[in-house]
Amino acid sequence: MRTVFPHRLPKPRKAWRKTALISLLIFLLLITLIGRPALHLAKTAWKDTEEREPPQAGFVDDASRMNATEISEVWPVPHNPREAEKQLAQLFARARSEGVPVSIAGARHSMGGHTLVPGGIMVDMTTFNDMELDECQNLLHVQAGAKWSQILPWLDRRGKSVAIMQSNHSFTVGGSVSVNCHGWQYGSPPIASSVDSFRLMHADGSILHCSRTENPELFSLALGGYGLFRLILDLDLRIVPNERYRLEQATVPVEQALSTFDTMIEDPDVAMTFARMNIMPDQFLNDVIITVFYRDPEPSESLPELTEIPLAAIRRPLFRGSSNSDYGKKLRWQAETKLQPHVRPNYFSRNQLLNEGVEVFENRSADYTDILHEYFIPRAGLTEFTTALREIIPRHHQDLLNVTIRQVDVDEDTFLRYADQSLFSFVMLFSQPRSDKGDRQMKKLSIELIDAAIQAGGRYYLPYRLHATPQQFHRAYPQAKQFFALKRVYDPQELFQNQFYLKYGRSLEIDQR
């Protein structure tokens, strides 16, 4: 018996076309999902070249690249301590006799001319950077020009870490304490709380030792004193052990952010925290990524090596690609919430988290610059301030790149304190044109945001653009009149000056005459 196999019937033309169309659509969808992000990042990386040029001869600028100032000279401090003290005294004597003001500069990462004075001498502290460790007292003795990028590897080799510092390592110690910076170390006041003592050189070349018990008024004035109360030579800083941390994150609607944060910090091992807000235009400030690091010692007591944080190569184009691009902002948020949790490590050393420079994200364009804002808001004013941000920022059409939130405890050490209570800091980064028009537009935004912060019971941070009106400045810092009066007591010849002083302190003196 012969078996008869039925003939295979060809697929109907319609069915074949449908299958082909579906396949094509799937292929195009994959290309769209993968291709567009890749194309956007490649385009960003291609355009991301070094276009910045130094100021013209005789001029110096700061990190804003909006403060080019003509000065008489840049004076690097000798590396040898004895020579430094001797030559600084001679420099101050010459400046006093010639009537030339002096400004103090480190890495110059402030943005309002705080390290510059027109026609003055700029003392460059960055060459003055030696350090030694007192392991018995757990103190780091360090010269004021040392950068955290030099300190962290040095401490890491000794199993130690910095107690309080900014989120980047590009700043000098002297600059950090002069602006009384804060960090993302949970439950910590600003950096002044970690300063045990320092040495201060007067305009006549004499040197005073300052601490909470010795010359305590100068101690409180020079910390957070913006270089106006003599020159800080070196400091003793409290240090802490380097430890292994475990990372945990939660992405929640902004309405749930505080309750989620409160839950996440119940663990006594919480060590560092920060949050980042969604800046996508169609979801503006509606969601928050809360990041918490917990102490989680390795049984073997081994720590991750002090290497660059992974994914740095992709993080820069992701960040820079969000400038002037709604799509780039959306891509960055999706990468941080959907992709990053699956590819990042879960464990870091404390030093590893702190060991990152501003160059990872900084703007290299010749025509645009990145400008920081920072506002300190009490818990009770968070909803009011966030509501104001949602209304004010879009109305000004400024290019917001980032909003990071950190917690700061009460400052009990400095005179010109911003943290007179426990506060949350809103750190914002904007990209703006490097032009007079761009600066005027940013100033209008700044003035509105400062008013909103004061209305919410808070204040603004002083190291950035000098956009606040004198009235706003004194509303935010009512102790400023006495601060500047004491400056003229301790520096009657007003040798130490900068643009911050010229706008808010010197002008006040003239008004009172």
Q: Would you say residue 471 has pLDDT above 90? A: yes
Q: Would you say residue 402 has pLDDT above 50? A: yes
Task: Name the burial class of residue 488, with classes exposed (0-12), middle (13-18) and buried (19+) by CB atoms within 10 angstroms of its CB.
Answer: middle
- Shortest CA distance to 113 belongs to which of 505, 509, 512? 505
- Each residue of 345-375: pLDDT tens digit? 899 999 999 999 998 899 999 999 999 999 9
pLDDT of residue 43: 87
Q: Would you say residue 23 has pLDDT above 50? A: yes
pLDDT of residue 7: 42
Concatenating the DSSP letter of every residue in 140-158 gives: EEEETT-BHHHHHHHHHTT
Q: Would you say residue 508 has pLDDT above 70? A: no
- Each residue of 214-224: pLDDT tens digit? 999 999 999 99
Maximum CA extent, the chain: 124
Task: Return d(Cα 141, Cα 1) in angstroms, integer.
Answer: 102
Q: Which has more pLDDT, 15 or 217?
A: 217
Task: Provide the token pair at 141.
Answer: 């003795």
Task: Return d(Cα 116, Cα 147) in angstroms, integer.
Answer: 19
Q: Would you say residue 6 has pLDDT above 50? A: no
Q: What is the DSSP-derived secondary structure letter of residue 513?
A: -
- Shortest CA distance to 304 belongs to which of 239, 357, 350? 350
pTM value?
Answer: 0.92
Q: Would you say residue 13 has pLDDT above 70? A: no
What are phi and psi for residue 476, nearest 5 degrees?
-75, -35
Q: What is the 3-state secondary structure (H, E, C) of 84-140?
A: HHHHHHHHHHHHHHHCCCEEEECCCCCCCCCCCCCCCEEEECCCCCCEEEECCCCEE
Q: What percent of the chain has pLDDT above 70?
A: 90
Task: Return d(Cα 175, Cα 108) in angstroms, integer.
Answer: 8
pLDDT of residue 18: 58
State the pLDDT confidence band at 60, using cuts at 50, 70 and 90. Answer: very high
pLDDT of residue 440: 98
Please state the rounded mean pLDDT for residues 492-506. 97
Task: Provide the token pair at 146.
Answer: 């040392």
pLDDT of residue 365: 96
Q: Which helix (H) or strand (E) holds 161?
A: strand 160-162
Q: What is the DSSP-derived secondary structure letter of residue 506?
A: I
Task: Return d(Cα 67, Cα 497) in angstroms, integer.
Answer: 15
Q: How many residues does the chain have?
A: 513
Helix 436-455 crosses helix 382-396 at what angle (to 10 degrees)? 160
pLDDT of residue 35: 75
pLDDT of residue 310: 64
Q: Which has more pLDDT, 247 or 9?
A: 247
Q: Mean pLDDT lowest for which of 104-113, 256-265, 297-306?
A: 297-306
Task: Return d(Cα 382, Cα 386) in angstroms, integer.
Answer: 6
Q: Would you say residue 1 has pLDDT above 50? A: no
Task: Return d(Cα 298, Cα 81) in angstroms, integer.
Answer: 41
Mean of per-residue pLDDT scores for the chain: 92
Q: Would you say residue 179 has pLDDT above 70? A: yes
Query: Which alpha helices (H) appear in 255-311, and where do they start and end?
Result: 257-264
pLDDT of residue 17: 58
Q: Would you say residue 40 has pLDDT above 80? A: yes
Q: Would you say residue 29 has pLDDT above 60? A: no
- Each residue of 312-353: pLDDT tens digit? 678 899 999 999 999 999 999 999 999 888 888 899 999 999
Q: Which has more pLDDT, 32 or 111?
A: 111
pLDDT of residue 405: 98
The three-state secondary structure class of 433 is strand
pLDDT of residue 120: 98
